[in-house]
Structure 1
Amino acid sequence: MTDDASWVPPLRAGRKPAGQALLGWLEDPRAPRICRVGGSSGSGRTHLLAWLATGCPPHNPKRARRVHAYLPAAGLTVRSATWLLADRLRTTARTPVQLAAALKSAPPRVLVIADLDRAGGSALPDEPRRIVTELLAHLMHVPDVRLVVEAAEGSPAAVALGELDVEVAALDLDDPRWTEPDRFAAWCAKLPGTPLPAEQVYPSPGLARLAARVHDGAQPDGGLSLDPATPLRDRLRSTAAAWWKTLPDELRSTVRALAAVEHAVLAEEWATLPGAGDPDAVRRAGELLPPHADGISWRLHLEALAAEATAEAPLDHAELVRALAAGIPRTPDGRPDHSAADPERLGTLLRHALVAGTAAEFLADPGFVVHADPLAVTAALEHTPLTEGSLAEGWRLAGPGLLGTGAPAARAATLHAWLHGHDPATDRSLAVAMSPAPRWFGVWRHRPRNGVIHGLAAGRGPHRGRVLVATQDGVRLLDAYTGQDLGAHLGRLPVRPATLACAEDGALLALDNDGVLGMLPSPAPTPGPDGATAVAGWAAQQLGQGLTALATPMIDGNPLVVVGDADGRLTCFREPGKPGVATEEPVHRTVTALAVAEVDAGLMVVSGGTDGAMRLWKPGQPPLADPIGARPFTVTAVAAGRTDHGVLYLTAWADGFVRLLRLDSARSEIHLRLGSAVRFAAIDPSGRVHLALLDAVFCVYVPPLE
């Protein structure tokens, strides 16, 4: 590129003008908010967008050259695209509306959506259009969001983009002005095989690669000659037909097998596909095919070549399902052993079952669902009826966490937490999938009728053994061991809490997002003026409305109040009228969450902040120099508690990731995701962990390590 962009990786095949055009769009705040990159199959659209994302990372020192999220959309649905995009943007969202709402308060964002025309795959051909109308259209309601989208001219996605109420710029890679002829010719001359004259394949890299392989077949001369004046799509079809003609007959089924998968596969996986033949056949066919962009895998990425491979024998989806199912390993008693199967293979099976109309039998098996490629499961569940307690409901509620979890046992634990108690057979199947010994498991789940949770606190004093849940209807009591709603209504808090704490006398203390303190008095107040409510009132009076977090421990029978503020400092107040003990320096940029635990050394304050760090502080001493955990996401909740098996610390981040940590000799650590950000958390003495999402409260148990 130019001198001022020398840090950008090189663009080959003469595509420097196209790269400069994209960088120019990125740097021009007056440019249309959407840039559509088009071109025929093989024109290098996906490669160009990957180059842009690689050369313009989110933390680029050049602010005008930042891509904040890169999303390959092949095989995705509206749901999975939303979930993955939210994850790349360091938040969680189940729906496009939630994602747009999360971005409205975020800085400007540039998003790159690659391979949109292949969204949904062959099973869900309407997904490219739906992603535009149901996801991207919502993102365009956020003024500071800009999009680079790959969609071929005339495709359903491109048509839908043109119908949005937003101006769209177009970069068509079939247009010769975006490719330098001399550099393209020099690149063509170095291709493996027998390159055609560059002018015959200009300006398509995919056409050039395939044409160079035509002469590598059994016939030394494929007789291929392309007229540069012929439309590019016709040249692609002619080249694909010539390549297929020169392919040895015994390798045609091998290549046809590759058409059955919609993702790039390594040679080992290719050889296991129905009809692929033996590894030697795969090796020979691979030598005749241009490899995938990574150079080590294969896919029939040229539409014309895939059409040629399936023209004589269209894919029989039902037969492919039977063949793929027969290849699943078996347990000694003859049952399918999904844990021993390749997730991508199970995903391929499910995609063909969706087309064949037989997906329901696989989706009814929790063991299959948690072991298959989660993107394929999400697509297969797209039009499954949503019934309470079904796997489909659990998957849609927990979806963002399921896609972000690599281990099948962890996916099983998350689904079990959402579905526990609805169906004994599902419970048993998920318990088997969590085996041999789950690191954590759900005890109960509660969803309030109005669906929105504004706060959670562990009950103390007269509320001991209870979990207090604040909703817009008021504060309700749940049994901490069963999750049963006890029907008690404590009234409405005067503020909507960003932090909620229960004092030892049962009083509730809350801070809203503006730092305003609100209280619900104790049902059994202790005599005298020095309870936690009085201490909290004194703290608010001293520090004003800059408070952002609050905790109310009880030490030696005396109430304390620990607060965090917008400047990142922590302060501990012991009684009204006396100054608090504060950290000398800020421990976070802004404190977002606080908890307190009693440890062998006394009182330990646990804090989290917008810097993503979790820190420990013993009042009167300097905070620990290093955080005991840090991730590049805002901390949304912390909790700490002494249990029968040691002190347990919890940190939850804005992307939905939760870490449970015991600082014992083994420093045992457990991770979980429930699908949305945990906003409030508490740990009771029995070791049960209570977690509040926006619309559900969970109780999970962490067994001690043996």
Structure 2
Amino acid sequence: MFLAWLAEHATEPDTSVLRRVHGLVPLTGHSASTTAWQLAEQLQLSARTPGELLAAVAQDQRRTVIVLPDLHQSTEPEAVEELACALAAFAHVRVILETRQPSPVLLAQAPAVMDLTHPQWTDPDRQAAWAATTPAAEQGRTPTGPDHQAPLDLDDPASVCAADPLLVTASYEHTTNPHGGLRPAWLRSGPSLSRPQDPASRACVLRAALGDDADPRLRGALETLAQESGWSVRWNRVRGDINPPWPGPAQSMSTSPVSQHRSLAVLDHQGVVRLLLADDGHPLGRLTHPVTEASAITVADDETTIILGSDGRLSLHKSPTATRPHGIAGLLDQSPSIWERLLQEAAPNTGITALTSGHDQLATGDRDGTVHVLAWNNTSIEHNSTALHNATVTALATVQISAGSSLVYSGGQDGRVRLWATDREPLPSPVAERDCAVVALAAAPAEDGITLAIGWADGLVEYSTTSPDSGTSRRTFRPGPPVRALSLLPEGDLVIGTDESLICLQPR
């Protein structure tokens, strides 16, 4: 009751910074994993494990207060206690932990202890009034959830998607039986599945996390359950898939603008670029040489691949699927390409943090929040730059709206998505804004407007289509693992890249 009162009054809008509570997880029924998932969501971070939560909190130096009631009712008290102690070890984090009996490990951290059984914290008159109206059998009893719940069948996707996600997670964590593939899919996407949502949305997330070794009947069952979710999973690849193979962690992605090849370039954490068939994710090949510690990729109009290296410099690579001139034409045409010229112009800027390309334009962003656009104009290069963010530019996307005119979308560490047409001033207000960083952007023309996909640092993907006639339609998706990359296919399908999966979604 005390911590409930504290949390209620410390989360009101007018609460001072020094008194504000940022994370609250009542631990009844929670494991260390589900505690980490809920804290990550509340702190607007993305984490699959307690270790990833600790790493994310270590990087986010904002003052953070976390309240964890009922440690004694957790399904893993020792593991949750270890997580709480590790969080409290950060100088910018304060943890308020409630437990019936502090363990020696907890007391060894020299915490400030408030014993609520001590007489100084009890009003005798109010306690007597409560005791007089509360049956003796109820006094001291720990509140629990509903007594009657539908039986949980871990082999049945309908049962799993409709059940209490804490119960499902705990059940899967305490068994090694794969249950046809549902168990690894659930634990892979747990940060999303543990959130409050309807069974259809949960079924869609679970379908997107299903591996190729799962019972084939599960795909159809989950697709049927997900019909009201707003999304259909067109294809997916997860860690461990063999046929077709998983292409590895997706650090960055870019769709080939050449329609006949319909390929998707995927950059992994080792700098290897793999090419996939956009229609079904089958492999097409890879670039010959990896780029060590590369962070971003874009595929230009002629299928030239431009890669951003760890030093903030750009390099140009030819795709194995690119068309090359033959015969005398190939011998005579030795002049630098448009993209080679644009890269030469961009070379002096060694602090590049994001890039994109399209229609003879190369756009880059830097640590100062400035976006630069280099555009080839027949025989010369036009330069345009403007400051769009108060922090590092983290993602860029462009859309051509007419001949010689393009829109540039930029996302930043400041949590804003800005829109800029290079022939005019940027829109004064962000087109999207949240209290966490933008990690990926993708934009493409739609039948009646423009489709924009935004990946946020807390694992949320926003997908919206804006048109002059019908306004903006919006839908969201959370894959579970942290979102690293996004790409839009010509039909409007959305490809999401994470460290664990590659998912192609079709809006219903």
Query: Same fold by TM (over 0.5)?
Result: yes
Q: Note the C-alpha offset of 1:128.
A: 1.7
**Could you say what the CA RMSD is over the residues aligned between the two structures, in angstroms?**
3.1
Q: 1:430 aligns with which of 193, 198, 222?
A: 222
* 1:68-467 equivalence runs, <5 A: 68-107=22-61, 108-120=63-75, 127-133=76-82, 135-139=83-87, 142-153=90-101, 158-162=103-107, 166-178=109-121, 184=123, 198=125, 207-213=127-133, 240-241=135-136, 302-304=139-141, 349=149, 359=152, 362-385=153-176, 387=178, 390-419=181-210, 422-436=214-228, 438-447=229-238, 451-461=248-258, 464-467=261-264
Please state how far the C-alpha of 1:368 moved relative to its aligned partner: 1.9
Q: Is the 8 A contact 1:682 1:690 kept in 2?
A: yes
Alignment CA distance shift 1:658-1:501 (3 Å)? same
Give the corresponding residue for 2:336. Answer: 529
The one-character-per-residue Cα deviations of 1:100-158 (angstroms, maximum 9, x if unpaired) are 111221114332211222223xxxxxx2222113x23543564543321111235xxx3
Q: Which runs of 5+ in 2 are unaligned?
A: 241-246, 326-332
Aligned to 1:569: 370
Paired position in structure 2 for 1:591: 393
Cα separation, partners in 2 of 1:375 and 1:645, compared to 1, 3 Å: farther
- Check whether the contact 1:389–1:419 (CA below 8 A) recurs between aligned residues: no
Shift of 1:91: 0.7
Is this contact kept in 1: 2:420–2:426, CA < 8 A?
A: yes
Report the secondary structure of 1:367's partner residue: helix
Q: Which has the larger radius of gyration?
A: 1
Distance 1:492 1:161 in 2: 51
Equivalent-residue separation in structure 2 for 1:635 and 1:128 (angstroms): 35
- The structure whose RCO (Cα within 8 Å, separation 6+) is larger is 2
Matches within 5 A, 1:540-551: 540-541=347-348, 544-551=349-356
| Matched residue type, 2:438 | V
Contact 1:560–1:574 at 8 Å: present in 2 too?
yes
User: Is the contact between residue 389 and residue 414 of structure 2 (CA under 8 Å) also seen in structure 1?
Assistant: no
> What residue identity is the alignment partner of 1:674?
P
Q: Structure 2: how far apart are the matches of 1:389 and 1:652?
A: 31
In the alignment, is the contact (CA less than 8 A) between 1:454 and 1:496 conserved in 2? Answer: no
1:673 equivalent among 471, 478, 482:
478
SS of alignment partner, residue 668 of structure 1: strand
Residue 489 of structure 2 corresponds to: 684
Aligned partner of 2:441 in structure 1 is 638
Q: Does the Cα contact within 8 Å between 1:67 and 1:110 map onto a contact in 2? A: yes
The alpha-carbon deviation at position 577 of structure 1 amounts to 7.2
Corresponding position of 1:485:
283
Closer/same/farther in 2, CA of residues 633 and 427 from structure 1, 3 Å limit: same
TM-superposed CA distance for 1:386, in Å, is: 5.3
Deviations 1:40-84 (A, max 9, x none): xxxx443354257437x8x9654x444332222122111211100
Distance 1:71 1:518, change over 3 A: farther
CA 644–52 in structure 1, closer or farther in 2 if over 3 Å, else same:
closer
Q: Please say if residues 355 and 363 of structure 2, whose CA atoms lie closer than 8 Å, have aligned partners that are also in contact.
A: yes
Residue 503 of structure 1 is matched in structure 2 by 300
**Residue matched to 1:260:** none
Change (3 A) 1:447 1:413: closer
Indicate how the Cα distance of structure 1 residues 389 and 629 shifts in structure 2: closer, same or farther if over 3 A, else same. farther
The 3 A distance-change label for structure 1 pair 151 and 91 is same
Residue identity matched to 2:80: I
Identity of aligned residues (%): 30
Unpaired runs of at least 5, structure 1? 1-43, 121-126, 186-197, 199-204, 215-239, 245-299, 308-343, 354-358
TM-score by length of 1: 0.63
Cα distance in 2 between the residues matched to 1:549 and 1:306: 50
Shift of 1:94: 0.9
Contact 1:501 1:510 in 2 (8 A): yes
Q: Contact 2:392–2:414 at 8 Å: present in 1 too?
A: yes
CA displacement 1:612-659 (0-9 Å, x = unmatched): 222222111112233222222111111011245653211111111111
Give per-residue Cα distances to partners, 1:558-590, cap 9 Å, x unaligned. x2101122222222101497451123x435533
The normalised TM-score by structure 2 is 0.85
Greater share of helix residues, 1 or 2? 1
Question: Partners of 1:209 and 1:537 in 2: how far apart?
Answer: 81
Query: Could you say if the C-alpha distance between residues 146 and 567 of structure 1 is closer, same or farther in structure 2, counting changes exceeding 3 Å?
Result: same
Secondary structure of 1:611's aligned partner:
coil
Find out whether 1:50 has 2:4 as its counterpart: no
Aligned length: 484
CA distance in 1, matches of 2:309, 2:86: 29
- Cα distance 1:110–1:306, how it changes in 2: closer, same or farther (>3 A)? closer
Would the alpha carbon gap of residues 588 and 688 (structure 1) be closer, same or farther in structure 2, given more than 3 Å must change? farther
After TM superposition, give the deviation of residue 501 of structure 1 in Å: 0.7
Say if 1:390 and 1:419, in contact at 8 Å, map to a contact too.
yes
Partner of 1:282: none
